Structure 1
Amino acid sequence: MSGAVQAGYAPPTRPDQPAPGRRGLRWLVAAAAAWAVLLAGLTWWSVRHDPPTVKEQRSLGQAIPVVDGAVGRLVAAVDGEAWELTPAQLRRGCRVTPLADGATLTRGLDVLVAVGSERALLERVAQRLPADWWAGVGAASGGPRLRADAGEFVAVDGRVVADGRVRLSAATGCRPVDPAYAEPRPAPAVAPELGAALRALGRSGPPPAEVVVAPCPAGGTARTVSAAAGGKPVSLAPLRPLGVAVVDRPETYAYRAGPVAVLADATGDQLRLAASTGCAG
């Protein structure tokens, strides 16, 4: 057979000689794998060593003053209503990045109003919030909804959680948790109005109280002192002489005694009493 190679004919590869295409494919796969490992390593190092470069990466501790200030603004916006600050809720387990856990902090207050006037309250609050928060009330699947932006990626929300009960809140969104972060624990406080309510209801006391505070926009501190006051049944009628009624329902009664809003809630297994002092001026 002639040793000349015919046009259009590729000579066969010897068994000991790898095909050129296979060698290039192996190099491509190896390079892609090395690049993936390098990217994963750089991401791991960046998450643990690089300082925040965008606001979303600011830590939970850095966002707390914004949340606290937003709650103070909400308290000032519900002046004259029957309200109480609710304990902060810290939820861990969200993901800041695929390699870093985070947490979300939510603070807020509950406001009692006449059934049917929930939207009117939300609209009043929206009008009283700072203009640069862009607060507004719209329709949602669960009823009217207030939304606003307190800045630094802190979201303000208002919604109806039950007939005659509106919940206003400020939340951080998922953020890295500071290593030294500790939930704030306000000093114990005494609310004489709680003692007066307990005596009117014939309950012994005072029971252990929980304190929640928020800074007022113009200075000072808003405060709620609350306590469980024993089981039901109970009539809330003896509270009527203690102040000006704001909400009067069979299982929920709220009144104002001077600057203090007092709430009695018998909708759960335990009677709850709360006395709240808001932001003057």
Structure 2
Amino acid sequence: MSSAAQPGYAPPSGPQPPEPGRRWPRWLVVSTVAWAVLLAGLTWYSARNDPPTVREQRSMAQAAPRVNGAVGELVAAASGTVYALLPEEFEQGCRVTPFSEGAILRRHVELAVPPGEERAALERVADGLPPAWRAGVRLTPEGPRLRADAGEFVAVQGRSVADGRIRLTVETGCRPNDADSVTLLPLYSPGVESTALNDALTALGAPLAQAETVMQVSCPGGAVARTVRVTAGPATTSPQAALAPLAGGTPAVATPELYAYRRDGVSVLVEVNPDGMVLSATTGCAG
């Protein structure tokens, strides 16, 4: 093979010397470093001080005060009706992310209204909630539904669960579970709620019962709404007939499953089940 270069091609001449490098202006280097430092500082400050931007960043202990405040707003908005706080639901095992478990906190308020007035009652509650919640009621195939946003990724819903019965629910959604630092049941001192329950139990011919469950929440104006809930065996007489004198003859609801009335500022609900009764007495907010 001939070592002569082919016509039209320049013979190899080895590596080319590097071109002289272009240096950045000093002011540009200084500006870039300063911007990086500023960005890092803002990121650090935001991580330590800014509110969470997604639900997964707010733990259960952080969300619980918002839930309790929302329940207080619901109770205040429902003033004038017969209502009761229901036991809290604390559901564990949901997925915050594919790699971590969490928990869901729900608190409920049950309203007793004349059958057929469920939608009007929901609309009154929606009108009484803070404007920032953007509360509204719409009619669905399942009946009227109240929806509102209490802020910090806490949802509020309301629906009819039976004739004359409405359930309002405040829910956190799935959150990181630090429930050991959440106090769900506050301290309780017996009061007029216990007296109202004992009067109802006596009228029904059922034995007196100790407080089984106590729920409490602060109202927006600073008062406290409290529900005392007890269980009892079957009544020895008709609940409607036995409780009518306590209701003054004008109960809020009188169905075979529920008898509800107000007496001396106390809301009393009596749930009648085949194997017994559940009674609750509630005070607070507007009384």
Normalised-by-shorter TM-score class: 0.7 to 0.9
8 Å Cα contact 1:207/1:229 also seen in 2: no
Matched, 1:254 2:260: yes
- Identity, % of aligned positions: 49
Note if contact 1:193-1:275 (Cα within 8 Å) is conserved in structure 2. Answer: yes
Which whole-Å CA distance do the structure 2 matches of 1:152 and 1:221 have between them?
A: 23
3-state secondary structure, aligned to 1:127: helix
What residue is the counterpart of 1:42 in the other structure? none
| Paired AA for residue 105 in structure 1 | L
Deviation at residue 258 of structure 1 after TM alignment: 1.6
Residue of structure 2 aligned with 1:218, choices 218, 221, 227: 221
Larger Rg, first or second structure (1 or 2): 2
Q: Distance in 1 between matches of 2:225 and 2:113?
A: 20
Q: CA RMSD in A?
A: 2.1
TM-score, with length taken from structure 2: 0.76
Secondary structure of 1:80's counterpart equals coil
TM-score (norm 1): 0.77
Counterpart position of 1:20: none
Task: After superposing the two structures, state which structure 1 stretch, 190-199 or 229-238, moved more.
Answer: 229-238
Size of the alignment, in residue pairs?
Answer: 233
Contiguous gaps of at least 5 residues in structure 1: 3-49
Deviations 1:10-69 (A, max 9, x none): xxxxxxxxxxxxxxxxxxxxxxxxxxxxxxxxxxxxxxxx97953411001100000000
Q: Which residue of 1 aligns with 2:177?
A: 177
Contact 2:88 2:184 in 1 (8 A): no
The 10-residue stretch of structure 1 (77-86 or 250-259) with the greater mean CA deviation from structure 2? 250-259
Could you tell which deviates more after superposition, 148-157 or 201-210?
201-210
Q: Structure 2: which amino acid aligns with 1:194?
A: L
Q: Is the Cα–Cα contact under 8 Å of residues 205 and 235 in structure 2 kept in the other structure?
A: no
Residue aligned with 1:184, SS: coil
Amino acid at match of 1:146: L
Partner of 2:53: 54
Alpha-carbon distance in structure 2 between the residues aligned to 1:267 and 1:163:
15
Does residue 286 of structure 2 align to residue 280 of structure 1? yes
Question: Secondary structure of the residue that 2:231 maps to in structure 1?
Answer: strand
Closer/same/farther in 2, CA of residues 229 and 53 from structure 1, 3 Å limit:
closer
Q: Which secondary structure does the structure 2 equivalent of 1:87 belong to?
A: coil
Q: 1:126: which partner in 2?
A: 126
Q: Which residue of structure 2 lines up, in the alignment, with residue 242 of structure 1?
A: 246
Q: Is the 8 A contact 1:252 1:267 kept in 2?
A: no
1:165 aligns with 2:169: no
